[in-house]
Amino acid sequence: MKRFAIGLAATFLAGASHSTSPAYSHGASVEKLEASRVAAMRQATSAFLKTLESEQREAVVAALDDKDVRTNWSNLPVSMAPRSGLAVSDMNAEQRRALHAMMAAAFSSQGYLKTTTIMWHEDVLNDSFTAFIASMRDDDPRKPEAFAFAENYDSEKFFVSVFGDMNDDNWGWMVSGHHYAANFTVADGRIAFTPLFLGASPQIVQKGRYAGWRILQHEADRAFALLASLSPTQLEDAIISEEVDDEVFMGKGREMAFGQPAGLRASDLDPVQESLLDALIDEYLDDASHEASARQRSAIEADGPETLHFEWWGPTDDPAARYMYRVRGPSILIDYVRERSADGGFNHVHSIVRDPSNDYGSKWLELHYEEAHQD
């Protein structure tokens, strides 16, 4: 059923027929919905810009073809990777409300909730890190530097930039902070939402009033559900290495290193496994609006299951260990990795969804954005 639904989305969004058939009528309504979503995004972004003072607006607005600003996102703390744009800390209440309206207009409810939870989580991280520093000896020479570094973990240290002229057909925006980067592009009525980086440390809060809260859990659970369904032969195809390669994750500055797919082909899955892979992909695509995710699904479906691969690094029997997985095709790249955390374990996750053919809407805009490498 899912493949059939994706196939319909591909037909509708491609506008394959101009007849008066029911299928085309549905297709027209899909395109109308996308136009409505673009209008809502434009209205919310314009409303945000109208709340800004002239100096703030100068900090926020940049050209759509300014690759240095457009790609100036990071998952690192701000002191390690300074951002462009205007910080939330420099916004008043009206501007903050307008910013959240802008984000809510572009994301699904799921994506907006993940976004705001990751922002809020910075304050949780600050509390736990500050408590750890307080437990250090007063004569510990690392203590002053640690207190200064704790200022990185702050829900107000997220930065926004808007690209292009809101009166044009092509424009976009970016929000970036620690463990977070969202890039939305509108090009002639089409919505691109990659690259989108989501991360968290700790992934599961261990202590205090928020103990048990977890971020990006379904991204892990759906991958393990697919993994558990594989036969020994399929598992052998999927596993790239028993250890995670630090150079594999397709983060900032790695977009030119997509390379050739490996691992298990989607065309080699049975129907149940195919559904599990679809559910894993949906967990990422559905962070964007229904209209944007449907367009991305149509591109993935058009590529064909023989081009889509599932790859795994690390152990397959321990969700708390360090592992990484990838879903890769011509129009999609999903990476999820568990990194080392402060307690010595791996309660720290990074994830990213990219479109190798159209990050930043580059194919539609006929522009090339080359990201600087990030250590």
Q: What is the DSSP string of 289-343?
A: -HHHHHHHHHHHHHH-GGG-EEEEES-SS-TTS--EEEEEETTEEEEEEE---TT
Residue type, 45: T
Instruction: With cut-offs at 50, 70 and 90, classify the pLDDT of residue 22.
Output: very low
Condensed to tens digits (0 to 9), the pLDDT of residues 273-305 reads 999 999 999 999 999 999 999 999 999 999 999
Q: Please check the confidence at residue 26 and state whether its pLDDT lies above 60.
A: no
Q: Who contacts 53 (Cβ-Cβ below 8 Å, separation ≥6)?
A: none
Instruction: With cut-offs at 50, 70 and 90, classify the pLDDT of residue 375.
Output: low
Average pLDDT over residues 336-341: 94
Q: What is the pLDDT of residue 14?
A: 39
Using CB atoms within 10 Å of the CB of residue 299, give its burial: 0 to 12 exposed, 13 to 18 middle, 19+ buried.
buried
Task: Give how far Cα 303 sits from Cα of 3, 56, 200, 298, Å.
Answer: 13, 43, 32, 9
Tokens of residue 196, six digits:
């989108």
Average pLDDT over residues 53-77: 96
Q: Please check the confidence at residue 265 and state whether its pLDDT lies above 60.
A: yes
Instruction: With cut-offs at 50, 70 and 90, classify the pLDDT of residue 71.
Output: very high
Query: Do 89 and 119 form a contact (C-beta atoms < 8 A)?
Result: no
Using CA atoms, how far apart are residues 29 and 358, in angstroms rounded to an integer?
A: 25
Q: What is the pLDDT of residue 139?
A: 82
Percent pLDDT > 70 in the chain is: 91
Using CA atoms, how far apart are residues 242 and 309, in angstroms rounded to an integer?
A: 18
Q: What is the pLDDT of residue 28?
A: 55
Instruction: With cut-offs at 50, 70 and 90, classify the pLDDT of residue 253.
Output: confident
Condensed to tens digits (0 to 9), the pLDDT of residues 127-176 reads 888 887 888 888 888 877 887 888 899 999 999 999 999 999 999 999 99
Instruction: With cut-offs at 50, 70 and 90, classify the pLDDT of residue 355.
Output: very high
Q: What is the pLDDT of residue 53?
A: 98
Comparing 252 with 114, the larger pLDDT belongs to: 114
Residue type, 187: A
Q: What is the reported pTM?
A: 0.90
Using CA atoms, how far apart are residues 200 and 64, in angstroms rounded to an integer?
A: 29
Condensed to tens digits (0 to 9), the pLDDT of residues 220-235 reads 999 999 999 999 999 9
17 in helix, strand or coil? coil
Strand partners, 160: 86, 175
Using CA atoms, how far apart are residues 73 and 82, in angstroms rounded to an integer?
A: 9
Q: What is the pLDDT of residue 255?
A: 63
Q: Please check the confidence at residue 24 and state whether its pLDDT lies above 60.
A: no
Q: What is the pLDDT of residue 177?
A: 97
Query: Do 103 and 112 form a contact (C-beta atoms < 8 A)?
Result: yes
Average pLDDT over residues 315-337: 96
Comparing 17 with 251, the larger pLDDT belongs to: 251
Cβ neighbours, 10 Å, residue 223: 25
Instruction: With cut-offs at 50, 70 and 90, classify the pLDDT of residue 25.
Output: very low
Backbone φ and ψ for 92, nearest 5 degrees, come out as: -85, 180
Query: Do 170 and 186 form a contact (C-beta atoms < 8 A)?
Result: yes
Q: What is the pLDDT of residue 134?
A: 81
Q: What is the pLDDT of residue 348?
A: 96
Q: What is the pLDDT of residue 6?
A: 41
Average pLDDT over residues 88-117: 98
